[in-house]
Structure 1
């Protein structure tokens, strides 16, 4: 969690030395294999929450991906590392160089207008990232597999010349046809 800087809480003159004592270093040193790091940076266009060295360390610890409600730096080097990162853009600034400062980790945060709590699952692809509470993961996965199967059926029918209105979304006679095809297998 990044919060606004304030002179009586943090003096920017010691930025790089003090950063290693912040929760940003703490969270990186607590990363376990498969973890997804979610950073609340209030959509800042200036604070570079992570750069090459921090993402490199994240990867070496076994981190799976990073979601940042803000910016990162060293974009080319991060891409070369192959760590999936979802962020709002890039900046040349480092984590405490501008208006925000790393303040806490392993706490609930608001990212992209969504509450993320420690232990939530993050599902992400090239379209973006979503939060899945742990207790909803199994039913959501089951629903997702069913949805994926229905869409595969609809794609086949569209590729065969079917009408969009018959197969997408899959309702009415198209849905009946899908259900009959599943019952036959």
Structure 2
């Protein structure tokens, strides 16, 4: 089975994944809603997570590490000294290009990768490496912030797979991404 890449991301209704300063505090009321938004089912069959530096730094600010899976941080600037000692067995830093990393992960036996982080997700999308994306729209307008999607050199064809709405107003849609 070839290695596949999958994203699961929340965005404001106007398309932002974070405030201009990177804060995701606006998600807290929705995380507190006692709803299953499908994350546990999504992550259950993944071999690991490939995460961007900014997302890693945000997650470190949570005060607890929420992942049991191995995490690869894509960064040109971080070093092993930037990884807390308590995470040394779960987190690694990588400065490869995404396609190179995927080859290496496939050689290690990984089959399904969770790609997390705005800029990294955009990079994987531009390089045609993302197989599907689940976008959960949050009923909130931020007006400004870090966009979910950036500039693309060509259109990316998506295929609707399913949509689920929640009492809190969140709407989660999964799209397959056509090969480019």
- Greater RCO between the two (CA within 8 Å, min separation 6)? 2
More strand by share: 2
Normalization by structure 1: what TM-score?
Answer: 0.28
More helix by share: 1
Normalization by structure 2: what TM-score?
Answer: 0.29
Larger Rg: 1
